[in-house]
Chain A
Amino acid sequence: MKQKILVVMCCILTVISFGAKKTGVIKIGCVGPITGDQASLGLDQFRALQIAVDEANAKGEIIPGYRLEIVSLDDQHNPTQAVAMAKRLASDPAVVAVVGHVNSSCSLAAAAIYQNARLTQISPSSSNPEISRKGYDTFFRTCATDDIQAPQAAYFAFTQLKAQKVFIIDDKTTYGKGIADEFEKEIRRLGASVLGHEGIMQADKDFTPLLTKIKALEPDLIFFGGMYPEGALLVRQSKALGLSATWLGGDGIYVSSFIDLAKEDAEGVYCTFIGADVSTMASAKNYLETYAGRFGKQHMGPYSAYAYDAANIIIDAIRRAGKSGRQAILAHVRLTKNFPGVVGVTNFDQKGDSTIELIGVFRVKNQAFDYVGPAK
C-alpha cells in the first residue's frame, strides 16, 4: 500500500513539473565586500544591481524564455577571496556577466579568471589604471581611473587650495598607493614640494606616531590615498594633535560613513570623486527617486549610480544579443555605443575604460558633502 502511494505521488510530481512553464535563468554576478569594514560599498553595489534587475524583469522576459537573477558573493575586499568567488561564478554556466569588484586589488586579481571564462566584468568603482592595462578583453569599468583622478586632484590642490608643502599618505593597497603615487608625480610637476610620502596599515587604529612626525614638518596640505575607516581616524587624530593642514582625499573617503566616523572633525575636508554630484544631474532624477523609495536616500553610496549603469549596460547587451551566451554578451558589451546612463553617456575605449573623464571636488560642510565643482 505504502509503495503504491509513493508511486502515485511520484507520478503527480512529474506531471506537475512538466506542466509548469519552463523559464530559463540568466544570472549576473555581483561581487564586493558585503561583510567587514567596507561592507557599505559592497551592499551599495548590490542594491543598485537589484534595482536594475528588478526593473528589467518587471518589463517581462529579458529575452524570450529567460529572466534575470543576481548571484551575490562576498569578496571581503580580499584579493584571495576575490579569486575564489570569481572561480565560483566562472563555473556556473548560467552566469553571463559580473558587476564588480568594488576594490581595485580584487578586480585586478579576479580579472584573469573572468578572462579565461569569457565572462564580461564591469566594475563600478575599481579605479586603478593598471587593471585595464593588463590587456584583458573582458574587463570594463564605468568609473574614471586614478590616473585621471589623481592628477586632477593635484591640479585642484595646487591652483585652488594653493598647496605649496604637501605630505602624502597611502594605505599601501592597489587603489591607495596608485592614487597617491599619481598625485605625487603631478603635484611635483606643478611645482609644490613634497615633504614625504608614507604608507599606513589598513585596519590599524593608531596613526598618532605618523601624524606627530607630520606635524613637525608643517605641511599645508595632506593628501590621503585610501579608504574611509582609516581616513576618518587620520583626520580625527590630526585634529587632536593640533595639525592645521588641509586634508584632501580621493574617492575612497567620499562615503557618508566617513562623516559618521570623523564627526565634527570632518568639516573642511576635501575629496575628489570620479564624477560630479549625481544628485545635481538631470539624468539621475528617476534613479534617485527609485533608490530613495526602496532603500532610503541616506543609504545611497557614491558608486551606486555607476553600479546601476554597469548593470544596465549588461542588460542592454543581453537584449541586443538576443541569446544567453558569454561570448555573445561580451561582444555586445564591447559594441556599446553612447549608452545613456545615470552618470552620463558611456562609451568604452579600447582598454574597456569609460570615456567620461569628469572629476568633481567635494568639501565637507555641515556634516554633508558639498559639491565644490569640477577639479579642472
Chain B
Amino acid sequence: MSPFETFIQQLINGLSIGMIYALIALGYTMVYGIIQLINFAHGEIFILGAFFALFVFSFLGSFVPLNNIVTIIIMFAAAMAGCGLLGVIIERVAYRPLRKAPRLACLITAIGVSFILQNLMMIVWGPIDKSFPVFFKHVVFTVGALRITFMQGFIIITSLLLMISLHFFVRRTMLGKALRATSEDMVAARLMGINVDKVISICFLIGSALAGAGGVMYGMYYTTITFHDGYLVGIKAFTAAVIGGIGNVPGAMLGGVALGMLEGLAAGYISSAWKNVFAFLILVLLLLCWPSGILRKFRNE
C-alpha cells in the first residue's frame, strides 16, 4: 500500500463515521436553531435507535425468516419511528414546561434526561456489549489497494439521501418554511399564525428520527452496541454541530464529515491513543479561529 493510498483509505474510513456524526449533528443543530437548547439527551436517542432496531430484529426473527433487505427497511423504520416519537415525548414532558425558564434549567434537564435514558437502557438491555446482526459479511469493493466495504458505501449513500431530503424539506415545503420562520423569530412566527409548539415538536421528531437512523447504521457498522455508546458519539456529534456553526443545517453536515475525517487522520498519523483528544482539540482550535463555526449562521437584519 503506497502512502497516498493509505491516506485516501484513511479519508474513506473517516467519511463513513463522519456521515454518522453529521446525521446526529443535524438533530443538535435543528433543536438549537429553534429553541437555543443543547439537547444533551440526543446522544442517548441515537444509540436507542440501534437498540430499537436490534429489538425489532430479534422480534421479527422469532416469527418469519424475512429477506435481508426487508429486514433492514423494517429496522430503519422502527428505529426512526421509535426515536422520533421518543424525541417528541421528551420535548413535551421535559422541555416544554421549562420553555419560559432560564436556559440553564433546560440544559440541566437535558443532562438529566440523558442520564435517565442511559440507565433505562442499562436496565432493559443489560450492561454487556450486545452483538448486532451482520447483513453484509465483508462485501468489499477494491480499487487498487483501496478497500471500501459495502457497509461504508451503504452509510455514505443512505446518509446523503437522508440529508438531501431534509434539505428539501426545510427549503421547499410549507412546514420547512414555518421551521425557518420559527428559528428566525419565535414571537413574530406566532403572530403570523404559525403553531410554534407544533413546529418545535416536528423539529424534535425529525432530529430524533435522523439520529435513530444513524444509530442503526452505527450498530450495523461496528456490530457491537452498549448502553453508554451514545454518550461519546453524542458529544462528538455536538462538536461537529459547533464546528459547522450551531443552528446551521448544512453546517452540521459539513462539520460531521470534517470531524470524522480529521479525527481519522489525526489518529492514523499522530497517535490513536489520543483520538478523542484530537476531536476536541479541533473544536477548541476552530472556536478560537471561527467562533461561530465554518458556516456562520447568516441572518438578514
Asked whether B131 lies within 8 Å of A209 as measured between CB atoms, the reply is no
Q: Which of B226-284 contact A (CB under 8 A)?
A: 226, 228-229, 232, 263-269, 271-273, 275-276
**0/1 string, A226-264, CB within 8 A of B gives 1:** 000100110010011110000000000000010011011
Q: How far apart are B220's CB and chain A's nearest CB, in angstroms?
A: 12
Contacts of A205 in B (CB 8 A): 218, 222, 224, 229
Q: How far apart are B128's CB and chain A's nearest CB, in angstroms?
A: 5
Known contacts A199-B273, A203-B232; decide if A209 and B224 are in contact (CB<8 Å). no
Complexed CA–CA distance, A240 and B222 (Å): 11
- Listed by A's residue number, 26 A-B pairs whose Cβ atoms lie within 8 Å are A35-B127, A37-B127, A39-B126, A39-B128, A198-B271, A198-B273, A200-B272, A201-B272, A201-B275, A204-B232, A204-B275, A206-B222, A208-B13, A209-B264, A209-B272, A210-B272, A212-B10, A212-B268, A213-B10, A215-B6, A215-B9, A216-B1, A216-B3, A240-B151, A242-B140, A261-B131
Contacts of A37 in B (CB 8 A): 127-129, 226
Q: How far apart are B1's CB and chain A's nearest CB, in angstroms?
A: 5
Complexed CA–CA distance, A199 and B273 (Å): 5
Complexed CA–CA distance, A233 and B131 (Å): 11
Chain A: interface size category:
35 or more
Q: Is B17 an interface residue (CB 8 A)?
A: yes
Contacts of A264 in B (CB 8 A): 137
Known contacts A206-B17, A261-B224; decide if A200 and B273 are in contact (CB<8 Å). yes
Contacts of B263 in A (CB 8 A): 209
Q: Which of B1-55 contact A (CB under 8 A)?
A: 1, 3, 6, 9-10, 13-14, 17
Q: How far apart are B229's CB and chain A's nearest CB, in angstroms?
A: 7
Asked whether B129 lies within 8 Å of A257 as measured between CB atoms, the reply is yes
Asked whether A201 lies within 8 Å of B224 as measured between CB atoms, the reply is no
Contacts of B180 in A (CB 8 A): none
Contacts of A261 in B (CB 8 A): 129, 131, 223-224
B residues contacting A by CB (< 8 A) are 1, 3, 6, 9-10, 13-14, 17, 122, 126-129, 131, 134, 137-138, 140, 147, 149, 151, 218, 222-224, 226, 228-229, 232, 263-269, 271-273, 275-276
Complexed CA–CA distance, A230 and B268 (Å): 17
Q: How far apart are B214's CB and chain A's nearest CB, in angstroms?
A: 13
Asked whether B127 lies within 8 Å of A172 as measured between CB atoms, the reply is no
Known contacts A199-B272, A201-B275, A239-B138; decide if A209 and B265 are in contact (CB<8 Å). yes
Asked whether B232 lies within 8 Å of A209 as measured between CB atoms, the reply is no
Complexed CA–CA distance, A205 and B218 (Å): 10
Q: Is A138 an interface residue (CB 8 A)?
A: no
Q: How far apart are A218's CB and chain B's nearest CB, in angstroms?
A: 8
Asked whether B267 lies within 8 Å of A210 as measured between CB atoms, the reply is yes
Contacts of A201 in B (CB 8 A): 272-273, 275-276
Known contacts A39-B128, A212-B6; decide if A198 and B272 are in contact (CB<8 Å). yes
Asked whether A213 lies within 8 Å of B13 as measured between CB atoms, the reply is no
Contacts of A200 in B (CB 8 A): 272-273, 275
Q: Is A207 an interface residue (CB 8 A)?
A: yes
Closest partner residue, chain B, to A198 (CB atom) = B272
Asked whether B264 lies within 8 Å of A35 as measured between CB atoms, the reply is no
Known contacts A198-B273, A205-B229, A233-B222; decide if A36 and B127 are in contact (CB<8 Å). yes
Complexed CA–CA distance, A242 and B131 (Å): 22
Q: Is A40 an interface residue (CB 8 A)?
A: yes
Known contacts A206-B17, A210-B267, A215-B1; decide if A263 and B275 are in contact (CB<8 Å). no
Asked whether B147 lies within 8 Å of A242 as measured between CB atoms, the reply is yes
| 3 closest A-B pairs by CB | A199-B273, A209-B267, A209-B268
Complexed CA–CA distance, A206 and B264 (Å): 9
**0/1 string, A35-64, CB within 8 A of B gives 1:** 111011000000000000000000000000
Contacts of A199 in B (CB 8 A): 271-273
Asked whether B222 lies within 8 Å of A263 as measured between CB atoms, the reply is no
Complexed CA–CA distance, A208 and B9 (Å): 9
Q: How far apart are B15's CB and chain A's nearest CB, in angstroms?
A: 11
